[in-house]
Amino acid sequence: MPSEIAVWQIVEATARKLFESYGFNEIKPPLLEKRELFARGIGQETDIVSREMYCIEEASGDVITLRPEATAGVVRAYIQHQLYIHNSVQKLFTIGPMFRRERPQKGRYRQFHQINAEMFGDSGPRSDADIISMAFQLLEILGLENLSLKINSLGCHACRPMFMDKFSVFLANCKNLCTDCIRRSQKNPLRVFDCKVSGCKDALLNAPSILDFLCDECKAHFEELREYLDLLSIPYHIDATLVRGLDYYIRTAFEIQTDQLGAQNAVAGGGRYDGLMRILGGPDHPAIGFAIGMERIVALMEQMGKNPGAPPLDLFIACLGKEAFKKVLPVMKELRYKGLSTEIDYGNKSLKSQMKLADRLKARYTLILGDTELNSGIALLRFMPTGEQKEISVKNLTESLGDLWKC
Ligand code: AMP
């Protein structure tokens, strides 16, 4: 809504400026992609793919999908346009809407907006630390408080199977799993960690920890990341149950939460997805990324009184009669060209109601121009905060008014 838009613009402008300082370039991938891209990339058993995507069948039989997340589309573009040819490390970000068939509630919508950042080409913990630092720094610059960062390592293709064996045995002995989780425990056991049902959550309290199964390389990666986070003074908690709902994550997974938003407490989340590029038909390039939920950030900023509202108007022209309008129309065009916000009343209302409108629009200056002023060649310019008035020449209106903003 217009009343909220100033906050949205602050969030977007701050993200663009900060991300560019980290060497990220903006990309605008399409909102529509083939269903297949998400099914292969995110995983058929995930909540997103199995029940949350909006799909449209075309006459050809192809199914296209309103993107539920940005990573798969950015990876598709990276492969298709061979973005890796010139730079071995590519850093991309995108801002835009995502679509998921969810039960709408406060902080959870079917169309919502994310700021996504993806870094391709480095497999080490240094890029993990840099990208987590960027996400955290954005939220800090925006003035968000009481943030907590959770991190986990999901292991790799070498060590995760050992955890999965142990975890599958554990799940087979769990009595109170919901029907979805019984199916998940057969098909894709890790997804049981995504379940919101309290019985399943309780059952997982005694689950084995994936961190106890990490191979030496994954362990060293995780330790090094922690060392860098300490160095950056970014506080974090380790949460061995954090798996983040998508199949493609490997090693590092992270989430930034707030205690100010009730149930929908996650403001950002991401992780490493080294295998995704190959799954989607590209080269074997490592990658890490994150997504920040804009509605939640905006809600937090509103709660903290960080909405500056609409900017005040530079100049209101109280214009009385058609001749006066003909005089000011080209003047307004010039002033707007110079970047001065200028407004009039289109309906030729009385001076009193035009002055009320000037107040409502929080005009800094108001110029009064009618037949009398046109005849005398002198118009009155009022400085609204003090009511002080001065006379200016009607002949050189554009110059006289433009000069006001020079000093
Ligand atoms: P995800 O893509 O699920 O990892 O989510 C990343 C971030 O997007 C979350 O931390 C939320 O801030 C935000 N988000 C995810 N789903 C929704 C939704 N349905 N409505 C609003 N924000 C969402």
Q: Which atom of ligand 1 is nearest to the CA of 102?
A: 19
User: Does ligand 1 have an atom closer than 6 angstroms to the CB of 47?
Assistant: no
Same domain, 218 and 247: yes
How far is the C-alpha of 204 from the C-alpha of 20, rounded, in Å? 41
Residue having the nearest C-alpha atom to atom 15 of ligand 1: 293
Question: What average pLDDT does this structure show over 288-308?
Answer: 95
Q: Say yes or no: CB of residue 291 within 6 Å of ligand 1.
A: yes
Higher pLDDT, 348 or 158: 158
Q: Is residue 27 part of a domain?
A: yes
The last residue of a domain, from among 274, 303, 332? 303
Long-range CB pairs of 165-174, under 8 A, 24+ apart, other chains included:
166/208, 166/213, 167/207, 167/208, 167/210, 170/206, 170/207, 170/208, 174/203
pLDDT in tens, 20-78: 999 999 999 999 999 999 998 888 878 889 889 999 999 999 999 999 999 999 999 99
Bigger pLDDT: 244 vs 132: 132
Co-location of 257 and 321 in the same domain: no
- What pLDDT is stored for residue 52 in this prediction? 93
Give the residue among 149, 120, 126, 135 at the shortest CA–CA distance from 225: 126
pLDDT digits (tens, 9 = 90+) for 57-69: 999 999 999 999 9
pLDDT confidence of residue 12: 98
Domain membership of residue 107 (yes or no) is: yes
Domain assignment present for residue 185? The answer is: no
Domain edge (last residue) among 269, 303, 337 = 303
> Are residues 128 and 36 part of one domain?
yes
pLDDT tens digits, 234-262: 999 999 999 887 788 999 999 999 988 88
Count of C-beta atoms within a 10 Å radius of residue 190: 22
Instruction: Report which secondary-structure segment, H or E, holds 83.
Output: none
pLDDT surpasses 90 at 349:
yes
Testing ligand 1's pocket by substitution, the residue of 52, 106, 112, 194 carrying the most ligand atoms inside 8 A of its CB is 112
Which residue type is seen at 58? E
List the domain range (segments joined by +) for residue 248: 5-159+214-303
Are 299 and 368 in the same domain? no
pLDDT at 158 over 70: yes
pLDDT surpassing 50 at residue 407:
no
233, two tokens:
């003074």
13: pLDDT confidence band, cut at 50, 70 and 90? Answer: very high
pTM above 0.75, yes or no: yes
Q: Total structural domains in the chain?
A: 2
pLDDT band at residue 406, thresholds of 50, 70 and 90? low
Residue nearest to atom 17 of ligand 1 (CA): 108
Walk across the sheet containing 252-258 and list its strands.
25-26, 90-99, 111-120, 287-293, 266-272, 252-258, 147-153, 236-238
Per-residue three-class SS string for 232-252:
CCCCEEECCCCCCCCCCCCCE
Instruction: Check if 266 has its Cβ closer than 6 Å to any atom of ligand 1.
Output: yes
The reply to whether 252 and 329 lie within a common domain is: no
- Same-domain status, 131 and 243: yes
The CATH number linked to 299 is: 3.30.930.10
- The answer to whether residue 200 is domain-embedded is no
224 and 335 within one domain: no
The answer to whether residues 58 and 132 belong to one domain is yes
